[in-house]
Amino acid sequence: MAKRDYYEVLGVNRDVSEDEIKKAYRKLAMQHHPDRNPDNVKAEENFKEAKEAYEVLSDAEKRAAYDRFGHQAMEGMAGGAGGAGFGDAFGDIFSEIFGGGRARSNVYRGADLRYNLEISLEEAARGTETKIRIPTLEACEPCNGTGAKAGTEPSTCPTCQGQGQVRIQQGFFSLQQTCPRCAGTRKVVRDPCTACSGTGRVKKQKTLSVKIPAGVDEGDRIRLTGEGEAGVNGGPPGDLYVVVRLRPHSMFQREENDLHCEMPISFTTAALGGDIEIPTLDGSAKIKIPVETQSGKVFRLRGKGIKGVRTNAYGDLMCHVVVETPVNLTARQKELLLELEAINQEEAGRHNPKAKGWFDKVKEFFEG
């Protein structure tokens, strides 16, 4: 029976790259592999046909000859194919089918750690230095992180003879897989260290000094290189990330580098004006309240905020005026307020323009 065109067998065009040929073959090989299709003669034939096509088209010299002369060019060539290209593709396929693979390194970087550090607004503004105590995994001192008892060393794995891989038989194929005993590390610990039970790491508490730069804000991270968990089998340690959390302040709220605060004033001060003293992070400051100041007015004190970590400019302090309504009034105070209200009613609109305007709108709304 005449052989099918090799490009047709793999389902590719004649101008495809070597990578596309390899991908097409891997797909067909996995689909028709005999171990996936036991007692299926047709699948086995398809597998052999795809293998033959790949052996030719994956070799640049053989592919050129085939493109020029067809199947006749392959007659007389010993074995038809083979070589490193075929072996690489076949190894990749069996890695996917059977889970084989190359030996893995057993050297791992230690895990990164996170520590939430709560500080005051004043500490964030000025910077500070503090000590923290964290739990971590460190290299075991008695075994120097090897996991083997002091005076001994990890020995070569007897299962893989220090190769990290073992060869197994799958049907009529011989495959390589990661050694199940040493997990590809090539070494085994016969006499484990009693301090770490052979793991090479132990749990400890360590105290660290952390410098908090001036201007840090909520959520900022400070990285302490190499202060995370110890690496495995000599791997480098991870890092420690100190995450800043700002403690709620009794007076100020921070918004980026600006500070906000509420400034309660009396009804009299709001109406007649006056000077008031307010606190800042650097002492106190005076604000002149103009006559007829309304509740909600904001006074900006420039440069009285916080200088951020990434800028040389200070933020501002925003003081929000809140006119406080008197409470626990005496009879005389009530009498005076009623007298004032009566005067206001006689000259409606002159002393309370916003209230008059609002009531006019309400009237129009209901009459509209």
Token pair in block for residue 327: 């409470």
pLDDT by residue, tens only, the chain of 368 residues: 578 888 898 999 988 888 889 888 888 888 888 777 777 888 888 888 888 889 888 888 888 888 877 777 766 554 444 444 444 444 445 444 444 444 445 667 888 889 999 999 999 999 999 999 988 878 888 887 778 888 788 888 888 877 778 877 665 566 777 787 777 777 788 888 888 888 788 888 889 999 999 999 999 999 999 888 877 766 788 899 999 999 999 899 999 999 999 989 888 888 888 888 888 888 888 889 999 888 889 999 999 999 988 888 899 999 999 988 888 889 998 888 888 888 777 766 566 666 656 566 666 666 76
8 A C-beta contact, residue 97 and residue 29: no
Whether 283 and 243 share a structural domain: no
Q: Note whether residue 162 is domain-resident.
A: no
Q: What's the CA gap between 351 and 368, in Å, rounded?
A: 27
Regarding whether 258 and 134 lie in a shared domain, the answer is: no
Flag whether 185 is in a domain.
no
- 236/353 same-domain check: no
Domain count, the chain: 4
The β-bridge partners of 36 are none
**Spatial CA neighbour of 178 closest among 159, 163, 165, 160:** 165
Q: Is residue 190 part of a domain?
A: no
Whether 75 and 10 share a structural domain: yes
Residue 260 sits in a domain of what CATH number?
Answer: 2.60.260.20
Q: Are 207 and 315 contained in the same domain?
A: no
**Residues 115 and 243 placed together within one structural domain of the fold:** yes
Same domain, 48 and 116: no
Where in the sequence is the domain holding 355, given as residue range(s)? 331-367
Task: Confirm whether 298 is domain-assigned.
Answer: yes
Residues 92 and 220 in one domain: no
3-state SS class at 61: helix
Q: Looking at the domain assignment, is residue 314 inside a domain?
A: yes
Rounded (10°) CA dihedral 158, 162, 163, 167: 0
Distances (CA, A) of 139 to 171, 195, 199, 200, 239: 44, 11, 9, 6, 15
Domain annotation covers residue 225: yes
Position 230 scores a pLDDT of: 79
Rounded to 5 degrees, φ, ψ at 137 are -105, 125
11's CB contacts (< 8 A; 6+ apart) are 24, 28
In residues, how long is the chain?
A: 368
**Distance between CA atoms of 206 and 138, rounded to whole angstroms?**
10
* 80 and 10 in a common domain: yes
Predicted pLDDT of residue 100:
44
- Please check whether residues 200 and 280 belong to one and the same domain: no
263 and 350 inside one domain: no
What was the pLDDT predicted at 177? 79
> Is position 177 within any domain?
no
Q: Is residue 206 part of a domain?
A: yes
24 and 72 belong to one structural domain: yes
